[in-house]
Amino acid sequence: MGKTLIKGGLIGGFIVFAWMMVSWMVLPWHCWTISSVQNETKVMEALSEGITKDGLYVLPNFCEMQKGDRTEMVNKLKKGPFAVLSVKRYGIDNFSSSYIFSFIVQVIGAGIITFLIGLMCCAHNYWYRVGCVALMGLLIGLLGEFPYWNWWKFPISYVGIEILDMIIGWSLAGFAIAAFTKPKKKK
Confidence of residue 72 (pLDDT cuts 50, 70, 90): confident
pLDDT band at 186 (very low <50, low <70, confident <90, very high): low
Mean pLDDT of the chain: 91
Strand partners, 85: 57
Computed from CA positions of residues 33, 152, 39, 23, in that sequence, does the dihedral angle turn out positive or negative? negative
Lowest mean pLDDT among 64-73, 135-144, 164-173: 64-73
CA–CA gap between residue 56 and residue 144 (Å, rounded): 18
pLDDT value of residue 153? 93
Task: With a cut of 70, say whether residue 159 has pLDDT above it.
Answer: yes
Q: What is the DSSP letter of 48?
A: H
pLDDT of 187 reads 58
Tell whether the model's pLDDT for residue 63 goes beyond 90: no
Residue-wise pLDDT for 130-148, tens only, equals 999 999 999 999 999 999 9
Higher pLDDT among residues 150 and 64, named by residue: 150
Q: How large is the average pLDDT for residues 92-107?
A: 92
90 — pLDDT class (breaks 50, 70, 90):
confident
8 A C-beta contact, residue 107 and residue 20:
no
Q: pLDDT > 90: what percent of the chain?
A: 70
Q: Outline where the chain has alpha helix (H).
A: 2-25, 29-32, 40-50, 62-65, 70-79, 96-120, 126-152, 156-180
The average pLDDT across 17-30 equals 96
Relative orientation angle of helices 2-25 and 96-120, to the nearest 10 degrees: 130
Question: Model-level pTM?
Answer: 0.87
Task: Report the distance separating Cα 149 and Cα 160, nearest Å.
Answer: 9
